[in-house]
Amino acid sequence: MLNKKFTLAGRPIGRPISDDDFDYKEEELRNINDRELLLENMVIEFQPAQKGWMENISNYVAPLEIGDVMRCSGIARVLDSKSKKFKKGDIVSGQTCWQTHPIMNEDDIELIEDTDMPTAYLGALGGTGLTAYFGVTKISKPNPGDTVIVTGAAGGVGSLAGQIFKIAGCNVYGIAGGKEKCEMLINDFGFDGAIDYKSENLNESLGKFCPNGADIVYDNVGGRILNDCLLHLALNARIAICGIISRHKTDNMNFGPENYSNLIFKRATMQGFLMLDYVSETVVARKKMKKWIEDGKLICKEDLREGFENAPDTLKGLFDGKNKGKQLLKIAD
Ligand SMILES: NC(=O)c1ccc[n+]([C@@H]2O[C@H](COP(=O)([O-])OP(=O)(O)OC[C@H]3O[C@@H](n4cnc5c(N)ncnc54)[C@H](OP(=O)(O)O)[C@@H]3O)[C@@H](O)[C@H]2O)c1
């Protein structure tokens, strides 16, 4: 049997990702050893951080070297097992990477027991959902009635963060690109308002939605959008810095933020965070998120593409705003 894979061939530093940044390879599968499993990768997930791993200029995760299989999480079916913990047919999650048939150690995967919602373990119950949950509960610390701005609101993290703020009783306004995404924020996710940053004057619209300023800005984007948000803060505002997706197409680091002086006048706090800081609290967070999903309070929108050969293109699409909700790619049934 063959394992098909994409390995890292180039580092997209200061430029968008190109097809030449990946090598496609096929290899004969080796036999598995004790405590190893042969998996069939079924669905893999995409997130902007993958470009950062390709660049290898931050050191918060193990380096991704040229020639390594491109890293991502996935859910997979066990085809063969020399582990006492897993049996053939089990559905598991882990860092299965951009390959069709990973061989993994039993310590590096997790059994998915809720086989009725397996892909949720890549979205709301995976790193994306946990980022939203911890960014809201640990950094933003919402109070009922707070006015909240979420940037990158129609993506995986933003759409979940906005809904968690709603559960906390906040008034939530999302910023996203395009009319369709803005309608989705209001109609599907229950946001109180949405701003299309591509066609509206962001400053004016923020002023309209937040006449007394925002108590919380949950920022996935950085750059000029964050800069505008900083002009619309309430006293003692909290700004949770989750991501800086706007930097990925530029040839320099992020613009600004010039308006950071408003932090002084509004006695505001701007704090970055990593979901990884809170992994010890994953079980409790997942339990809560799962209950919200079951109660219909949290919708995990998935944007499912198909075909292993589309992995590079699917990753590139995140930076063109092609995804609505969590971007996934189906590789096998
Ligand atoms: N701190 C952590 O621990 C942690 C963990 C996971 C993710 N993150 C970060 O959280 C952020 C969101 O991740 P995600 O998985 O939700 O992303 P996602 O689902 O891929 O959403 C990305 C969305 O960002 C928008 N976007 C892209 N380029 C933009 C630009 N130049 N200006 C404004 N909007 C832009 C696009 O939507 P539009 O059509 O609206 O432009 C795109 O659909 C990322 O920056 C990611 O790195 C942080």
pLDDT of residue 250: 62
Between the CA of 89 and the centroid of ligand 1 the distance, in Å, is: 34
Task: Indicate which residue's Cα is closest to atom 8 of ligand 1.
Answer: 243
| 270 belongs to a structural domain | yes
- C-beta 151 within 6 A of ligand 1: no
pLDDT of residue 247: 82
Q: Which phi-psi region, left, alpha or beta, contains residue 292 (left: φ > 0; alpha: ψ -120 to 50)? A: alpha
Between the CA of 247 and the centroid of ligand 1 the distance, in Å, is: 10
Provide φ and ψ at 330, rounded to 5°. -85, 130
**Whether 51 and 156 share a structural domain:** no
**Whether 240 and 205 share a structural domain:** yes
Closest CA relative to residue 28, chosen from 107, 104, 100 = 100
Query: pLDDT tens digits, residue range 197-208?
Result: 999 999 999 999
| 66 belongs to a structural domain | yes
Between the CA of 325 and the centroid of ligand 1 the distance, in Å, is: 10
Between the CA of 15 and the centroid of ligand 1 the distance, in Å, is: 17
Dist CA 323 CA 314 (whole Å): 9
**Whether 118 and 139 share a structural domain:** no
Dist CA 23 CA 6 (whole Å): 5
Between the CA of 327 and the centroid of ligand 1 the distance, in Å, is: 11
- C-beta 83 within 6 A of ligand 1: no
| 210 belongs to a structural domain | yes
282 exposure class (CB count in 10 Å sphere: 0-12, 13-18, 19+): middle
**Whether 165 and 93 share a structural domain:** no
**Can you give the residue range of the structural domain that contains 319?**
2-123+300-330
- C-beta 181 within 6 A of ligand 1: yes
Residue where one domain finishes, among candidates 261, 276, 291: 276
Query: pLDDT tens digits, residue range 62-98?
Result: 889 999 999 999 999 999 999 999 999 999 999 999 9
User: Residue 223 maps to which CATH number?
Assistant: 3.40.50.720
**Whether 193 and 257 share a structural domain:** yes
Band of pLDDT at residue 256, cut at 50, 70 and 90: confident
**Whether 137 and 256 share a structural domain:** yes
**Whether 33 and 73 share a structural domain:** yes
Band of pLDDT at residue 115, cut at 50, 70 and 90: confident
Q: What is the mean pLDDT of residues 281-303?
A: 95
- C-beta 3 within 6 A of ligand 1: no
- By most ligand atoms within 8 Å of CB, the mutation choice from 164, 175, 182, 220 for ligand 1 is 220
User: Residue 112 maps to which CATH number?
Assistant: 3.90.180.10
Computed over every residue of the chain, the mean pLDDT equals 95
**Whether 136 and 157 share a structural domain:** yes
- C-beta 139 within 6 A of ligand 1: no
| 9 belongs to a structural domain | yes
13-26 as b/e: b if 16+ CB within 10 A: eeeebeeebbeeee
- C-beta 318 within 6 A of ligand 1: yes
Q: For the chain, first and last CA: distance in Å? A: 17
**Whether 172 and 208 share a structural domain:** yes
Q: Full-prediction pTM beyond 0.85?
A: yes
pLDDT of residue 36: 98
| 267 belongs to a structural domain | yes
**Whether 239 and 320 share a structural domain:** no
pLDDT over 80 (residue 249): no
Dist CA 189 CA 313 (whole Å): 27
Take residue 298 and report the two structure tokens written for it.
């949290």
What share of the chain in percent tops pLDDT 70? 98
- Could you give the 3-state DSSP secondary structure of residue 50? helix
| 45 belongs to a structural domain | yes
- C-beta 174 within 6 A of ligand 1: no
Cis before 257 (ω within 30): yes
∠ at Cα 76 (53, 278), nearest 5°? 50
**Whether 307 and 251 share a structural domain:** no
Query: pLDDT tens digits, residue range 1-12?
Result: 899 999 999 999
| 293 belongs to a structural domain | no
> How many domains does the structure of the chain reveal?
2
**Whether 309 and 245 share a structural domain:** no
Dist CA 70 CA 5 (whole Å): 8
Q: What is the mean pLDDT of residues 307-329?
A: 95
| 290 belongs to a structural domain | no
Closest CA relative to residue 263, chosen from 226, 240, 238 = 238
Query: pLDDT tens digits, residue range 142-180?
Result: 999 999 999 999 999 999 999 999 999 999 999 999 999
pLDDT of residue 257: 87
pLDDT over 60 (residue 251): no
- Could you give the 3-state DSSP secondary structure of residue 90? coil
